[in-house]
Structure 1
Amino acid sequence: MDIHYRNEPPQFDGANLQMHFIAEVDGEPLDCAITAEALEDHFGAQSALEGPLREAFQRGQTLIRAVCTRAIEQGAGPVVLHSGRFRSPDVPDVLH
C-alpha cells in the first residue's frame, strides 16, 4: 500500500469541529480528518477555533500523519482521528 499526503493546508470543518486533509492511497484520494478534541488534548490547541486548530495541526503534522497511516493500513477509511487514537499503546513514543 502506497500512502502519501498532499502538501496542502488542512480544511477547517466548523460544523463537525474537524480539520480535514487528504491522503493519497495507491494514487486515490482519501478524506482524512482529526477532531478538535484530539488537537486540544494532544497538540496544544487552545480552543476549537480555526486558528488554534491550524497551529496545533501544523505542530503535530508528522505524528498525525503517522497515526493516520496506521489507521489506513488497518483498513479504516475514510479516517477520522479521535483523541483516543493517540492514547493507543502503538502511538510513537514522541507523544508519550
Structure 2
Amino acid sequence: MEISFPQMAPQYDSECYTLVFPVQVDGKRIQCGITAEALEDHFGAASIREPDLVAAFCAHRGAIEDAAATLIEATHGVPVLLHSGVFRVCGR
C-alpha cells in the first residue's frame, strides 16, 4: 500500500474539535483526522483553539502521520480518526 501525506495545512472542524488532513492512499485521496484531545494529551496543544491545535500538529506532524499510516495500513485504506488512546497504545 502506497501512503503519502500532501504537505497541506490541516483544516479545523469546530463541530467535532478535530483537525482534518489529506492522505493519498494508492493514488486515491482520503481525509483523516486527529482529535483536539489527542493533540492536547500527547502533543502539547495548549487548548482546543484552532491556532493551538494547528501549532501542535505542525510541530509533531511526523509522529501523527506515522500513526495515521499504521492505522490506514491496518484498515486497508479506510480513513482514520486518531484519538488519544491510539497514542497511549503506541507509546507516545
Q: Could you state the TM-score of these two structures normalised by the residue count of structure 1? A: 0.91
CA apart distance, 1:77: 2.0
CA-based RMSD: 1.1
Aligned position for 1:40: 40
CA apart distance, 1:65: 0.2
CA apart distance, 1:25: 0.2
Where does 1:69-80 land on structure 2 (aligned, <5 Å)?
69-75=69-75, 77-80=78-81
Q: Which amino acid aligns with 1:70?
A: T
- Structure 1 residues not aligned, in runs of 5+: none
Secondary structure in 1 aligned to 2:29? strand
Aligned position for 1:21: 21
Secondary structure in 2 aligned to 1:46? coil
Secondary structure in 2 aligned to 1:19? strand
- Structure 2 residues not aligned, in runs of 5+: none
Equivalenced residue count is: 91
Q: Does 1:87 align with 2:65?
A: no
Q: Which amino acid aligns with 1:18?
A: T
Q: Could you state the TM-score of these two structures normalised by the residue count of structure 2? A: 0.94
- Aligned residues: percent identity? 42
Distance (Å, rounded) in 2 between the aligned partners of 1:44 and 1:60: 9
Residues 27-46 of structure 1: CA distance to partner in whole angstroms, max 9, x if unpaired? 00011000000000000001
Query: Runs of 4 or more off by more than 2 Å in structure 1?
Result: none
